[in-house]
């Protein structure tokens, strides 16, 4: 990685960004986001099937980003009323929205129906019954997918494995009668239209075999349902989970390679099982925004204990909970000393009042002093979206940079913002 990349993002100097917007600062390379969106759209194509790429907005969402997703011709995956509200505010076409979640509230289901959301991904029997009832009351039509767990174990952190039999999401494929009963309920509705199955086998997946196993399982199950219920399964959503590069331990599958592999496998399984399959859907999130985003911090105090050197920064677990939550690993550089030899092994820690507020263990750094700028890479997914106000810390500003220009898309919270809900 060259010095120029370390010192600038989107053609804008990190020093200039810090001086203009302060730190901690979330910086996105806008051109990189656009490139990833375009790449998924370009490579996830088939001569035999329709294809759809839905951005998983839980990775990171704001109006400016959703406008890029819309411009790229992608659809959108939301998981809450708040994300749907943001999509509506960004002018996103509601018919291209998929609404996920294991516990959608009655208010959210009402919001879905009133706003003309394209597709609901059903999670369980109680939700299906409530949606059927509400759609009839409101005389509103809605397409649905049913989330099933194919029992495919992806090799990832236990908190982000989502398809095992005991997952909180969906219905395990082995509990066939539950699925059949739910589908019969949906079939009985004039307003709720079954379109197919959805599955998601985990996150940060580098093993293509896991996706192939998912496709085989979904295809065979779809065929059995079509035969038993005389119910076409025109859509299959494979979810997301495509990996991103955080450290040298990670080997993400290139977009063109994973897309080609998924499409070919779906085409083959559709033909082999004589399916009614018309469309396949994927939901990349992390793989679109993670590497495009970086967090810029200012170094504060440094100290050495018996066994560790600490470098403290002006952010921490409040703006990036992933190291504490998932033991996530990151890389960083001191952008003001890009060419200096890395002679220091240190723990980069935040300012929160928690021993677990560690951003990077054993970081290789040059000699560091207060006021240096430290850039932490690949923070674009699940950084800002999982940020909190722990210790009453304001959330950072977010900037998009492209072609030497920076644009503020989310302003920094103020202390007054932290009190605006208080009575």
Name the residues annotated as catalytic.
353
DSSP secondary structure string for all residues of 367-388: ---TT-EEEEES-SSSSGGG--
Position of tokens 């399982």? 217
Which residues contact residue 290 at a Cβ distance below 8 angstroms, ignoring those fewer than 6 apart? 59, 244, 246, 378, 379, 380, 381
Q: What is the DSSP letter of 135?
A: H
CB contact at 8 A, 170 and 182: no
CB 296 within 8 A of CB 14: yes
In sequence order, what DSSP letters do the residues of 202-237 get, joined into one string? Answer: -SSB--HHHHHHHHHHHHHHHHHHHHHH-----EEE
CA dihedral angle for residue 55, residue 60, residue 62, residue 65, rounded to 10 degrees: -50
- Determine contact, residues 292/362, Cβ cutoff 8 Å: no
Residue whose pair of structure tokens reads 């083959």 in the numeric block: 268
Tell me: cis bond preceding 24? Omega within 30 of 0 counts: yes
Phi, psi of 221 (to 5 degrees): -70, -40
Residue 389 is classified by DSSP as -
């Amino acid at each position: 990685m060259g010095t120029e990349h370390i010192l600038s993002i989107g053609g804008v100097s990190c020093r200039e960004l810090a001086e203009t917007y302060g730190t901690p600062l979330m910086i996105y390379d806008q051109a990189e986001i656009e490139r990833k969106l375009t790449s998924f759209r370009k490579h996830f194509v088939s001569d035999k099937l329709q294809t759809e790429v839905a951005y998983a907005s839980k990775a990171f969402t704001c109006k400016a980003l959703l406008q890029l997703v819309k411009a790229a011709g992608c659809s959108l995956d939301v998981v809450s009323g708040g994300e749907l509200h943001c999509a509506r505010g960004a002018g996103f076409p509601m018919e291209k929205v998929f609404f996920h979640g294991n516990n959608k509230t009655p208010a959210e289901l009402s919001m879905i129906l009133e706003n003309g959301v394209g597709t609901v991904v059903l999670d369980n029997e109680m939700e299906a019954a409530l949606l059927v009832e509400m759609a009839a009351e409101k005389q509103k039509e809605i397409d649905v997918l049913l989330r099933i767990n194919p029992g495919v174990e992806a090799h990832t952190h236990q908190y982000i494995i989502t398809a095992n039999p005991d997952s909180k999401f969906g219905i395990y494929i082995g509990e066939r009668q539950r699925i059949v009963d739910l589908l019969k309920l949906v079939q009985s509705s004039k307003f709720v239209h079954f379109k197919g199955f959805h599955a998601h086998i985990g996150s940060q997946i580098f093993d293509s075999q896991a996706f192939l196993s998912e496709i085989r399982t979904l295809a065979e199950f779809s065929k059995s349902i079509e035969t038993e219920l005389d119910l076409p399964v025109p859509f299959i959503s494979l979810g997301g989970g495509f990996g991103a590069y955080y450290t040298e331990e990670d080997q993400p599958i290139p977009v063109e390679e994973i897309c080609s592999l998924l499409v070919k496998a779906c085409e083959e399984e559709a033909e082999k099982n004589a399916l009614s399959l018309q469309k396949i859907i994927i939901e990349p999130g992390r793989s679109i925004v993670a590497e495009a985003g970086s967090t810029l911090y200012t170094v504060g105090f440094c100290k050495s204990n018996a066994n560790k050197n600490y470098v403290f920064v002006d952010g921490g677990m409040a703006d990036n909970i992933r190291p504490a939550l998932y033991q996530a690993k990151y890389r960083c550089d001191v952008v003001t000393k890009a060419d200096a030899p890395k002679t220091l092994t240190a723990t980069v820690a935040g300012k929160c009042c928690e021993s677990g507020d560690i951003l990077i263990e054993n970081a290789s750094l040059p000699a560091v002093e207060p006021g240096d700028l430290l850039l932490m890479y690949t923070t674009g997914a699940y950084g800002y979206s999982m940020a909190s106000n722990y210790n009453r810390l304001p959330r950072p500003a977010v900037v998009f940079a492209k072609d030497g220009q920076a644009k503020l898309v989310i302003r920094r919270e103020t202390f007054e913002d932290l009190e605006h809900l208080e009575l």
